[in-house]
A and B are shown apart, each in its own frame.
Chain A
Amino acid sequence: MPNNSIQVKGLQKSYKKLHVLKGVDFEVEKGCIFALLGSNGAGKTTIVKILTTLLKQDSGTAAVNGFDVAAKPDSVRQSISLTGQFAAVDEILTGRENLIMIARLRHLKNARQVADDLLNRFGLTDAADRGVSTYSGGMRRRLDIAMSLVGKTQLIFLDEPTAGLDPEARIEVWKVVKELANSGTTVFLTTQYLEEAEQLADRIAILHEGRIIANGTLAELKKLFPPAKVEYVEKQPTLEEIFLAIIGKKGEK
């Protein structure tokens, strides 16, 4: 337990007749980058919402930093940050005001200092006093992630952090996520970009048709790849091929 940031057992969730999660199990170790991989509509965001106390599961249990999400939502919220699917920044406020607002809501004493440090770290100092509506997509995402770092929570959720970003901005975000993990923060990442998981994650879980159908390090997942075409293939399989192969295999059953 103490080594796990997240523990999920038998998680189920339906929206009316749509059975999105059909019994999801996984664990996330402290200090690692965990990527949850899945197609659109696979239920990645539903899992994030349950783990961040925004949504209640129908059955199963989920514990975050040792606290049950259903029984102790306030303790869970103290110890996590969420960067949602759409950059949840205030467009009218400036970058600095956004950060100060979050720092005040986390009841930090030195809100201004915290904001200055983060602006500096994310290369937003020059744009700090401009309205966020003038920011580029990449800057907005950086600010969004910076807002999640206010208060130094142990665990950060990034729900499709690079969706809709151009390649350059995507690489910027990757750099930030790597730095985060180096500083000891646990990162729970969802993505549909396979390269992103390959680049960033220590462990990768694949969510397909409501269940985790594979979970391991990239090396472990590579072993699962059936070497059927071995005589024609010269390079190592990419994660994309692994992903599609595993999904295809499960789908046939």
Chain B
Amino acid sequence: METTKKYLFSDMGVMLGRSMRHHFRSMDTIITVTIMPIALMLLFVYVLGGAIQTGTDNYVNYLLPGILLITIANSIGYTSFRLFTDVQRGIFERFHSMPIARSAALWGHVLTSLVSNAISVVVVILVALIMGFRSSAGILSWLAVAGMLALFTLALTWIAAIPGLSAKTQDGAIAIAYPIHLLPLISSAFVPTASMPGPVRAFAENQPVTSIVESIRALLSGQPVGNDIWIALAWCVGIMLVAYVFAMRAYKKRV
């Protein structure tokens, strides 16, 4: 027990290095998690943006928080996929028959999700800056935005881990990605919810993405965040904890 604990962080580092290589060696992953969100941002700003009334004169400022969440949401199917492959191909069995902490293999994937999403988010923000995104936010607000995005990433990653660890087929493993991709579309990410018809509006205003988008938007534009940030935190932490429990249960069943 002693040695496995002593090397926990070095083992997780090796696991992180491994799946980061998987991330960067997959053209499909790079396109989905970086190029697609940027393309979407270009499309909305330069094609559709002129017709969208948000009450702000700088649509990139309005749009960016939603695009950042889409960036993260796009990546989580890959976490499911990579976990599923590891379980199926037997590499987890190899790891688990070695003197390393059992959780290291799983946490390696979670860390990879955090690190790779941080990289994509930075790239998307840089492109947004070129497109005219400006923020009056100070260091503290940016840190709060980073923290919120990290929590959102963790919540989605643990959700993604559940089918990744328990699915019988690859299609089953990545199916979770589709409903999650939809959430930012039915939120205040692109247009204010006030323009939506009743039931859609009710859904949009009460689903997690809207409160997260609103609080990030407020933080970036130097507005008071109000209750949104607490609702957003509650969503993220709540989803993360519940998903973590189920993912761990699925993991223990597999090992």
Q: Do A and B bind each other?
A: yes
Q: Interface of A with B (CB < 8 Å)?
A: 52-54, 74, 77-78, 80-82, 84-93, 97, 101-102, 104-107, 131, 147, 157
B25 near A92 with CB under 8 A, answer yes
* Chain B interface, >50% SS class: helix
B contacts with A, residue count (CB < 8 A):
25
Q: Are A97 and B21 in contact (CB under 8 A)?
A: yes
Interface residues of B (CB under 8 A from A): 1, 3-4, 7, 10-11, 14, 17-18, 21-22, 25-26, 89-91, 93-100, 255
A92 and B90 contacting across the interface, CB-CB below 8 Å: no
**Interchain CA distance A82-B93 in the complex, whole Å:** 8
Determine whether the beta carbon of A77 is less than 8 Å from that of B98. Answer: yes
**Nearest CB in chain B: distance from A218 CB, A:** 29
Q: How long is the Cα–Cα vector from A86 to B86 in the complex, in angstroms? A: 12
Task: Contact check, B89 vs A105: say whether CB atoms are below 8 A apart.
Answer: no
Centre residue among B1, B90, B94 by max chain A CB count within 10 A: B94
Is the pair A147, B94 in contact by a Cβ cutoff of 8 Å? yes
**Given A88-B89, A97-B21, A104-B14, A82 and B97 touching (CB < 8 A)?**
yes
A54 / chain B contacts, CB cutoff of 8 Å: 93, 96-97, 255
User: A80 CA to B96 CA in the complex, in Å?
Assistant: 12
A85 to B1 Cα, complex, angstroms: 27
Selected A-B contacts with CB under 8 Å, 8 pairs:
A74-B1, A77-B98, A77-B99, A84-B90, A89-B91, A90-B91, A92-B26, A105-B11
User: Nearest Cβ in chain A — how far from B1, in angstroms?
Assistant: 6
Q: Which of B17, B18, B91, B97 contacts A77 (CB 8 A)?
A: B97
B100-A105 in contact (CB<8A): yes
Instruction: Please name all residues of chain B whose beta carbon is closer than 8 Å to the beta carbon of A147 when the two chains form the complex.
Output: 94
